[in-house]
Structure 1
């Protein structure tokens, strides 16, 4: 089969998803690269010798898998920082985007995300949390649901992700999130419990901020070779005079454990920087599916095209 060029097109953003990826697709990428050094390092940090979708129910496995699979999928497609207008990551995908852009060494990125997942797991063991999507409700109604759930159950519940005007995610104590799910259904929305072990992007993760900041700082991030937009802060990290520098990454990535993902706002930031389209690296087509309901930027999914020929 002839090689197919999937290099980023002019003005196109290279985008990496967070934990809501297709687990079958993620494991398929790893299986196709069984002998790759990054997969060998992934086995070390996760303690896994083989990959199956069921294993991704454990956040400590899922998060490093997603970062490794995203980087390998980008390499398969011939995507490079030099060929991209910008890079961006949704939630956990911020770390993948930074590794793609050269701010983090790929193996260091796996170590870092393994630490991130472990901190979230530890917080979850002390105070069990849950993330629940509230779909087909406007932001005001979701806020009404959130406040009622906190009043009824007495726990913590924060808006964790805003994927669009009617696609929000709440995160907090398990009982409070469960109550919110009931109230979402009562309000005519669609609740969906996320298979993520921990209340990421909520105040329950505040205790993880200081140790994670120290882990990022110890890696001494380098300047990225292409600007990287963060989804948990309205900033771009990059080489330009208006960009934030790598020295800001320890604080930015640590706060990202607690601050919400504002995806629509992030797409607006990309457009303000000249982006006109984006490629969803995957694995899977999570971000491309989101774009169908949030037409700020057109997305194409990498899985829609055959892989580029070349060494594995």
Structure 2
């Protein structure tokens, strides 16, 4: 008994000393890298203030929130908002539209920045390359209001430039903006034109990190430019492609709200109703804030689930995931 007591009293100061020494080393490392932490501080504060602190607001999804009664005065109703959402007659319509628009985006939009980045990477004239990069980046900085206005000017049935050309060839006008069968394709085409250039930045940065010796070895082996791209460039940027694809799958329940709101009209409502517009219509315009929070929480859960499943699948295939 005395031996046990003696051992305990001896090991306790040692453990405390190890923790103290570990803490001092951590503090010394932070002091040594103080300027790096100073640079990271704005980003850290952003996530704390705008990502973590507002998380308490998710509790509104479990309340019948009334702005006049406040958060604490509003009645707790549990999962009633979720059951109402899932039993809503438009829930499966919104689910179909949201996933369909995102699938269109993944199939047609996601590969395009990779292809464009490969093309830009092959340009050897630096001035010409920078000019082309600037041109394809510019649409990203236009607001969706401008893009929607340009679409109306080009595709409108009465004043649209394309329909005027069609009429000049002796054909009748095409209802590009009011045809439900064309709506998803129209949204995808707008996103491709606006964002494809901006999406090349990360892929160009990844290509810049490829070891030039790999290209030299491929040339010695007699590989053409296409074979160099296929066997050297694409394998080198595969981790970047997979990470961005996983992150993109995490937004499968999100659709560009502003884009759809601007392009929406009563004739395409059956294919334009998505979770974002529903949350805006019911939650903001209808004053049912709890419903809006419920929709947002559902989208977050769907996104997290898809990220985890896709990351698991990528790891099972022998590739590196995001965690």
Shared topology, TM-score over 0.5? no
Which has the larger Rg? Answer: 2
TM-score normalized with structure 1 length: 0.23
Q: Which has the higher contact order (CA 8 A, sep 6+)?
A: 1
Higher fraction of helix:
2
TM-score normalized with structure 2 length: 0.23
Higher fraction of strand:
1
